[in-house]
């Protein structure tokens, strides 16, 4: 096969994987997230500082993914933790890092806009 066809097939596979694995929070997960928000979960935006400055969830703190391990003390004594980002990928990684460090009360909230919508619905 030519290099162009291999390249196109590779791109198609990545596009398919992105859309297949990045569907946002399921209705069940949204209910879990909404319940945790109602109970005062710690909201953690794991995007970069400049992404956070562009907009985030009301009441959220910013701990970028690459700084999670150096900020583990901020997660201690939290009953529930919701991590989120732009697409749900980095928050999935953050959840795995926290789980590896003994935190079992972590929810991957997916995108920050989905979590913001649930926080704003709580205020109504």
Residue 14 within any structural domain of the chain: no
Question: Tokens standing for 26?
Answer: 């399921």
What is the spatial order of strands in the sheet that 61-62 belongs to? 61-62, 42-45, 81-85, 106-111
- Tally of domains in the chain: 1
Task: Tell me the residue range of the domain where 115 lies.
Answer: 24-123
Residue 13 within any structural domain of the chain: no
Write down the pTM of the prediction: 0.79
Residue 39 within any structural domain of the chain: yes
pLDDT tens for each residue of the chain, 124 residues long: 677 777 767 766 665 555 544 445 555 689 999 999 999 999 999 999 999 999 999 999 999 999 999 999 999 999 999 999 999 999 999 999 999 999 999 999 999 999 999 999 876 6
User: Which residues does residue 107 pair with via DSSP β-bridges, in sequence order?
Assistant: 82
32 class by beta-carbon count within 10 Å (0-12 exposed, 13-18 middle, 19+ buried): middle
Query: What's 85's domain CATH number?
Result: 3.40.250.10
Residue 5 within any structural domain of the chain: no
Residue 98 within any structural domain of the chain: yes
Residue 104 within any structural domain of the chain: yes
Is residue 64 part of the annotated active site? The answer reads no
Q: Which of 33, 81, 85, 98 is catalytic?
A: 85
């Amino acid at each position: 096969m030519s290099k162009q066809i291999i390249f196109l097939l590779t791109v198609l596979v990545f596009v398919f994987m992105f859309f297949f694995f990045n569907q946002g929070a399921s209705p069940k997960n949204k209910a879990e997230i909404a319940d945790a928000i109602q109970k005062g979960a710690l909201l953690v935006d794991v995007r970069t500082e400049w992404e956070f400055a562009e907009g985030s969830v009301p009441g959220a703190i910013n701990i970028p993914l690459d700084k999670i391990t150096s900020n583990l003390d901020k997660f201690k004594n939290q009953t529930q933790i919701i991590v989120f980002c732009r697409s749900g990928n980095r928050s999935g990684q953050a959840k795995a890092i926290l789980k590896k460090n003994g935190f079992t009360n972590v929810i991957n909230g997916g995108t920050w806009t989905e979590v913001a919508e649930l926080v704003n619905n709580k205020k109504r």
